[in-house]
Amino acid sequence: MLEIVNNNYVKYFSFFLLILFTYSCKKDNNDIRLQYTGQWNFKGNEYSFSSYYIYNPDPEWTYSETYETIYNDSTGSIQLGEKSNELSFKYCETCDAVIYNLEDNGVGSTNWNSSSWTLTDSTFFNNVLSEPPGYNSSYSTFNIQGWKL
């Protein structure tokens, strides 16, 4: 009789441990940020414009433009940030991480000297705006595009 009780006890205890182990190892897949994490390919483009007068001896208006590609086909990553609404972007393996607040995703800024960015599960775009030309005849823009690998 003692053997039957011990066998039932062992069965119930084993079943309890199996259930406990199954639920304790279950990952929380409800974190929306998980769809963005992983390896990404980034490309950054910069445009600069400058204009000025050349006095030779008469004034002549001239300008210069430059285009530069940074992070061209650069493998980087997006990881979870420290806070529940943050993502950590590394545009290249040696770059410093940039933290984005996911709650701002898709919110375009109308203020100068700020940026607007969008992120989907497979694409990223960040457009960094500069100050308006105003009285200054030089300005630059910078954007970063990303594709999930």
Query: pTM here?
Result: 0.64
| Strands of the 115-119 sheet, one edge to the other | 98-101, 86-90, 59-80, 38-55, 138-148, 123-128, 115-119
Q: Where are the domains of the chain?
A: 32-148
pLDDT band for 90, please (50, 70, 90 cuts): very high
Closest to 65 in 3D by CA, of 142, 115, 140, 145: 140
In this predicted structure, which of 2-6, 51-55, 78-82, 135-139 has the lowest mean pLDDT?
Answer: 2-6
The predicted pLDDT at position 88 comes to: 93
pLDDT digits 0-9 by tens, 17-75? 555 555 555 455 688 889 999 999 999 999 888 888 888 888 888 889 999 988 788 89
The predicted pLDDT at position 80 comes to: 94
- Other C-beta atoms within 10 Å of 33: how many? 15
CA-angle at 128, arms to 126 and 131, nearest 5° = 165
The predicted pLDDT at position 75 comes to: 92
Average pLDDT over residues 91-99: 89
The Cα 21–Cα 44 span in angstroms is 46
The Cα 118–Cα 43 span in angstroms is 15
